[in-house]
Amino acid sequence: MSNLNPKIKLNKKENINIDKIYSGLLQGDRFSLGKAITLIESTKPTHKEMTKKLISECLKTQKDTLRIGITGAPGVGKSSLLEKLGMYIIEKGFKPAVLAIDPSSNISGGSILGDKTRMPELSMSENAFIRPSPAGKNLGGVAKKTNESIIAVECAGFNPIFVETVGVGQSETAVHSMTDLFILLIQPGAGDDIQGIKRGIMEMADIIVVNKADGENIINAEKTFNQYSGIISLLPEKESGWKTKIMMISALTGNGVKELWQIITEYENNAKTTGYYRKNRKNQNLSLFNEYLFNNLIEIFNTDPNLNSLYTETKKKVETGLMSYYDAGDFLLKLLTK
Amino acid sequence: MSNLNPKIKLNKKENINIDKIYSGLLQGDRFSLGKAITLIESTKPTHKEMTKKLISECLKTQKDTLRIGITGAPGVGKSSLLEKLGMYIIEKGFKPAVLAIDPSSNISGGSILGDKTRMPELSMSENAFIRPSPAGKNLGGVAKKTNESIIAVECAGFNPIFVETVGVGQSETAVHSMTDLFILLIQPGAGDDIQGIKRGIMEMADIIVVNKADGENIINAEKTFNQYSGIISLLPEKESGWKTKIMMISALTGNGVKELWQIITEYENNAKTTGYYRKNRKNQNLSLFNEYLFNNLIEIFNTDPNLNSLYTETKKKVETGLMSYYDAGDFLLKLLTK
C-alpha cells in the first residue's frame, strides 16, 4: 500500500471524532478520507451509526461530480487503463479516485494484487485516491458501502470517481446503478462467449473500449471493433439520447487515452445539458431506495423469530406452485403489519 | 365475439358457485372458463375473494403445459401468425389458448379489433380459446390477472397457452416473466429503431421470427434475417442452454409455420429434459412473489393514512439526494413494523 492512500486501522481505544473526520474531508485531507472509508467498511454497530452521521453530513455538500463505472473480464486491462487515464487527467488538473469492487475476492479490505502493482504511478500520486472495496458475498452490502465511499470521496474533492468491477458477476449491475457513465472494456477476441461478458452488460455500456490495440494485436482489435460496431449500430438510442460509442485503445502505449477522455467529456456535457445527468441521479437514488426497502423487508422476514418459519414455509409453497404468489404475499404482509 | 368464446356477464342477482365453476373447468367447459375469467377480471372485492378460492383449487391440478409469450410491434402480424399456428396445431390434436394483453388500449374487456376479425378461423374453433385481457394502466394488476387467467385456462385443459402482447411498453417483460418460451416477431425493415423494439426485448427472445417473408418482401426479409442472425451469433448462450434461433415466416401464406412449431417443440423438449422448465417456473413464481411483496409494501406506504405523508416526504429527500437511501429505508421500515 502506498503511504499516500492510507488504510487506517481504527484504534479500539481511540475516540473517533466524526466532526473532525468531516472537516478533514472538506479540506481534502487524505488521512481523514482513509479513516472515513475504514469506518464505512466496518461492520461494528457503533461504527455503522457513526457512518450514518458522517454520510448525512457529506450529503449536504454534494457536487456535480462524474461517476464512471468501468467493467470488463479479468485480465482485460482495467487497471492499466485507469493508470494511464488517471495520470492523463491529473495533468489536466483533475483529482481522480478509483474505487474497485472485486466480488470474487474474499480477502477483507483489499484486492489480490496490491494497488502499487496494479496502478504503480497513480497509487503514488498525491492527486489520486485509490481504494479497493472490501469484498464479500453480500453484494447488497458491498453496493451500499461503495455508495457511501463515493459520497465520502466526493466530499474530499475527488472527481471523477472511477468505480471498477469485474464484469462476470452481478456487481456490474450494481456499479451501473450508481454511476453516471458506464464503460465496458473488451479485448481482441472471438465474441462475447470467450470474453465471458454477461448478457445485458453490452446494453448498459455507454462507451465500449477495445483494449490491447497494439503490436500484433491490432488486426484482431480491428476485427473486434468492427464486430461490436455492427451490433451497436443496431441498438436503439439510450434514454439519455446517447448512442453507445466504440473505440480502440492501448493501455500499454497510451494510444487512444486522450480520445477516450474526449468522449467521456462529450458524454458529460451532453448529459448535463439535456438534464439527463440530474434525472439519472434522481432515478438511481429512487431505485437504490426501493431495492434497499425490499431487501430489508426480506431481511425482517428472514430474521424475525415470529415470522421466519412462516416465511420459509410460504415461500416454498410459492416456489412449487402450491400457493399463488399473491395469496402468499397478502398473507405475509398482513402478518407484518398487524 | 364468437359464441364459442363467451364473455359471460356476471349477473348481480346470480349466485356464483365456485365449486360449480371449478368442476366445469375440470370438464373443459368453455362456459365455466368464460365465467372464471370474468370473475378474475372483476374488481369487486367479493369477486376477488371468490377468484382467490378458485385459483387455489386450480393450482392443485397443475399440468406441465407450455406457456408461450409472443411480442412484436403493432402491425407486425402477431394475430395472423397465431391464427395460422393455432389452426396448424389444432390439426395435430392440440387445444391452444390465446390471452392477449394490450396495455395501450383502455377499452375494458376487449381489444380494439374483435377476435373474429383478428383470428377469424381460430376464434370459431371449439378447440381454441381466445381472450383479450382487460387493459388498464396498472400493469401489475394486468400481470396478476393474466397469471390467474393462465391458471384457469390450463385447468380447463388448454395447451399451449399463447400470451400475446405489443412489444412497445413494459408488458413484454411481464409476459416474459410468466411464460416458458418467448417469441419476438419482427418484420422486414431497417433496424430496431424503426420497428420500435425496446432495448432488452431481443435479449429475452428464445425465437426471433421475421414475418412477411412473402412476395416482394422476401429480399428485405432475408436482409433483416441476416442482420439479426449476426447479432444473435454474438449473444452468449442463455441460462437455459438454448441459443436464440431466428427464422423467416409468412403468416399470410403459412410458409414456415410448420418449422416454427418444430422449433417450439425442440425448445420444450430441451427445457423439460434439462430440468430448466421446472427451474424456470420455480424462479418465476419466486420473482412474481417478490415483486408482489414489494409492490404491496409500497401500496401500504402510499395508502396508510399514518404513513402516507411521511413516505412521500422521505422519498422526495432521497430523490434529491438530501437523505441517503438506507437511512430513509431504515426509517420507513421501522415505522411500519413498530
**Could you state, in order of their start, the residue ranges of all structural domains in chain A?**
63-273, 283-337
Q: How many CB pairs under 8 A join A and B?
A: 152
B165: pLDDT strictly greater than 90:
no
How sure is the predictor about A264, in pLDDT bands with cuts at 50, 70 and 90?
very high
Q: Does A64 touch chain B (CB under 8 A)?
A: no
Average pLDDT over every residue of B5-21: 71
**pLDDT for A30-40, tens place per residue?**
999 999 999 99
Q: Which of A237, A286, A293 sits opposite B319 (nearest CB)?
A: A286
Chain position carrying cell 457512518: A51
Q: Taking CB atoms and an 8 Å cutoff, what residues of chain A touch B298?
A: 290, 293
> Among A9-13, A316-320, B145-149, whose mean pLDDT is lowest?
A9-13
**Cα B209 from Cα B183, distance rounded (Å):** 7
**pLDDT for A187-225, tens place per residue?**
887 555 445 566 578 888 999 999 999 998 999 999 989
How sure is the predictor about B143, in pLDDT bands with cuts at 50, 70 and 90?
confident
**Cα B131 from Cα B111, distance rounded (Å):** 9
B259: pLDDT strictly greater than 80:
yes
How sure is the predictor about B72, in pLDDT bands with cuts at 50, 70 and 90?
confident
* Cell numbers found for residue B83: 391464427
A8: pLDDT strictly greater than 90:
no
**Cα B18 from Cα A222, distance rounded (Å):** 66
Q: Tell me, what's the pLDDT at A239?
A: 82
Instruction: Say if residues A33 and A25 touch (Cβ distance below 8 Å).
Output: yes
Q: Which of B231, B293, B321 sits opposite A332 (nearest CB)?
A: B293
CB contact under 8 A, A292 and B325: yes
**Cα B41 from Cα B73, distance rounded (Å):** 25
Q: Taking CB atoms and an 8 Å cutoff, what residues of chain A touch B236?
A: 192-193, 197-199
Instruction: Say if residues B152 and B40 touch (Cβ distance below 8 Å).
Output: yes
More confident residue, A136 or B69: B69
Instruction: Say if residues A283 and A244 touch (Cβ distance below 8 Å).
Output: no
CB contact under 8 A, A294 and B293: yes
> Among A22-36, A53-67, A185-199, B7-21, whose mean pLDDT is lowest?
A185-199
Q: Tell me, what's the pLDDT at B111?
A: 44
How sure is the predictor about A320, in pLDDT bands with cuts at 50, 70 and 90?
confident
How sure is the predictor about A50, in pLDDT bands with cuts at 50, 70 and 90?
very high
Q: Tell me, what's the pLDDT at B322?
A: 85
How sure is the predictor about B86, in pLDDT bands with cuts at 50, 70 and 90?
very high
Chain position carrying cell 418484420: B187
Average pLDDT over every residue of A60-88: 91
The predicted model scores a pTM of 0.70
Single-letter code of the amino acid located at B72: G
How much is the ipTM here? 0.71
Can you give the length of chain A in residues?
338
CA distances from A116 to A1, A119, B64, B162, B274 (A): 6, 5, 57, 58, 47
DSSP letters for B184-236:
EEE-SSSHHHHHTPPTTHHHH-SEEEE---SGGGHHHHHHHHHHHHHHHHHSP
Residues 269 through 298 of chain B touching chain A, CB cutoff 8 Å: 281-282, 285-286, 288-290, 292-294, 296-298
Q: Which of B199, B294, B324 sits opposite A235 (nearest CB)?
A: B199
Instruction: Say if residues B142 and B101 touch (Cβ distance below 8 Å).
Output: yes
Q: In the CATH hierarchy, which top-level class contains the domain B63-273?
A: alpha beta
Residues of chain B above pLDDT 70, percent: 83
A107: pLDDT strictly greater than 70:
no
DSSP E strands in A17-64: the ranges are none
DSSP E strands in chain A: the ranges are 67-72, 97-101, 129-132, 161-166, 181-186, 207-210, 245-248
Q: Does B317 touch chain A (CB under 8 A)?
A: no
CA distances from B273 to A332, B270, B276, B286 (A): 35, 5, 8, 22
**Cα A312 from Cα B289, distance rounded (Å):** 13
**pLDDT for B127-142, tens place per residue?**
999 988 755 555 566 7
How sure is the predictor about B1, in pLDDT bands with cuts at 50, 70 and 90?
very low
DSSP E strands in chain B: the ranges are 67-72, 97-101, 129-132, 161-166, 181-186, 207-210, 245-248
B154: pLDDT strictly greater than 80:
yes
Nearest CA in chain A to B278: A320
CA distances from B307 to B242, B304, B314, B319 (A): 47, 5, 10, 18
Average pLDDT over every residue of A173-190: 88
A185: pLDDT strictly greater than 60:
yes
Single-letter code of the amino acid located at B150: I
**pLDDT for B15-61, tens place per residue?**
789 999 999 999 999 999 999 999 998 888 899 889 988 998 898 88
Indicate the Cα dihedral angle A61, A66, A67, A71, nearest 10°.
-170
How sure is the predictor about A12, in pLDDT bands with cuts at 50, 70 and 90?
low
**Cα B228 from Cα A232, distance rounded (Å):** 12
CB contact under 8 A, B320 and A289: no
